[in-house]
């Protein structure tokens, strides 16, 4: 049985663009990026994943310290609870340029039920407008192809959304590389609402982020991500309604990042330090 996880909901290859008229492609971000970012090195969000009402896994989103102008952003998941006897693990790491907020490279490392393991690596050449993807599993193949200016990966997309104001009704179009396919992802703000999780109560912004899954895991309803409606823009919930049932990841623990020590490279300019979540 395949275990739907946060990495599945966010990092598995995107399908066709959503069935709606796409907006014009967003302009490339300025260099340096004017907006502050709401994360710091060491930030970590931990989630419990439920599927059909049962705990099936655990997941985390974390930020590492910057090296040579790039900070590692990681989404990881693994089987847990009733599915702990089944080995399932996925880790997706995006090396984000701290000035442009564009990924320099990304690595998806996965171990799936049945013992199948694979590692997919993407490297961007922004000057040439190309990406090189290596898929290493049963076979080992490398592909090079053109990508539009400003193309993100899915982790970078989630973190880019964290930098936006997200007013009700806002809609933004992105180019996202997943696997060997670049898709147009149109993210739209649905509403602001109160979300209760084991980590606390959050005033949150609900954002529709269509993934375009098909086949057995085709979406009956879109994927939604809830961000805290404060300076942190913490991911507090993710919900995906598949044809075979609903998978949901909820925040259970949040660890804020810490400012870099003198002489240590920081991950861009942080937003003002926010207070705690709503009691």
pLDDT means per 10 residues, the chain with 279 residues, are 40 34 41 65 94 84 94 88 63 94 94 81 97 93 96 94 94 91 92 94 94 47 89 92 68 90 49 40
Domain count, the chain: 1
- Residue 276 in any domain: the answer is no
Residue 265 falls inside a structural domain: no
Strand locations in the chain (E): 44-51, 54-63, 70-79, 89-97, 103-111, 117-125, 130-136, 140-146, 171-178, 181-197, 200-208, 219-228, 235-242, 245-255
- Strand partners for 245: 242
User: What's phi and psi for 156, nearest 5 deg?
Assistant: -60, -35
* pTM (2 d.p.): 0.78
Q: Is 214 helix (H, G, I), strand (E, B) or coil?
A: coil
Is 96 domain-assigned? yes
Model pLDDT, residue 278: 40
**Confidence at residue 77, expressed as pLDDT on a 0 to 100 scale:** 85
Range 182-215 burial, b when 16+ CB lie within 10 A, else e: bbbbbbbbeeeeebebebeebebbbbbbbbbbee
Residue (of 198, 182, 192, 116) closest to 149 by Cα position: 182
Query: What pLDDT was estimated at residue 116?
Result: 79
Q: Is residue 272 part of a domain?
A: no
What's the CA gap between 186 and 179, in Å, rounded? 18
Range of the domain at 161: 6-255
Q: Is residue 101 part of a domain?
A: yes
**How many whole angstroms from its chain centre is CA 272?**
23
Q: Is residue 156 one of the residues assigned to a domain?
A: yes
**Is residue 234 included in any domain, yes or no?**
yes
Question: Tell me, what's the pLDDT at 39?
Answer: 94
Least Cα distance to 49 among 79, 90, 88, 10 occurs for 79
pLDDT at 221: 65
pLDDT at 256: 94
1 lies in some domain: no
Determine how β-strand 117-125 pairs with β-strand 140-146. Answer: unpaired
């Amino acid at each position: 049985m395949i275990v739907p996880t946060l990495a599945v909901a966010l990092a598995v290859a995107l399908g066709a663009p959503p069935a709606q008229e796409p907006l014009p492609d967003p302009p490339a971000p300025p260099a340096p990026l004017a907006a502050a970012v709401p994360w710091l090195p060491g930030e970590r969000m931990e989630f419990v994943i439920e599927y059909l009402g049962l705990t099936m896994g655990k997941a985390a989103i974390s930020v590492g310290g910057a090296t040579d102008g790039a900070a590692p952003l990681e989404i990881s998941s693994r089987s847990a609870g009733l599915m702990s006897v089944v080995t399932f693990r996925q880790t997706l790491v995006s090396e984000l340029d701290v000035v442009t907020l564009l990924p320099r490279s990304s690595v998806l490392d996965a171990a799936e039920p049945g013992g199948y393991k694979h590692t997919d690596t993407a490297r961007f050449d922004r000057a040439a407008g190309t990406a090189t993807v290596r898929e290493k599993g049963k076979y080992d193949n490398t592909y090079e192809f053109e990508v539009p200016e400003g193309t993100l990966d899915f982790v970078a997309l989630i973190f880019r959304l964290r930098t936006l104001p997200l007013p009700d009704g806002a809609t933004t179009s992105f180019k996202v590389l997943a696997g060997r396919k670049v898709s147009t992802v149109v993210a739209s703000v649905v509403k602001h609402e109160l979300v209760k999780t084991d980590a606390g109560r959050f005033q949150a912004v609900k954002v529709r982020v269509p993934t375009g899954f098909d086949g057995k895991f085709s979406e009956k309803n879109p994927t939604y991500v809830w961000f805290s409606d404060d300076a942190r823009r913490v991911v507090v919930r993710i919900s995906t309604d598949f044809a075979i049932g609903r998978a949901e990841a909820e925040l259970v623990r949040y660890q804020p990042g810490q400012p870099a020590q003198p002489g240590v490279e920081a991950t861009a300019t942080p937003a003002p330090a926010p207070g705690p979540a709503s009691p």
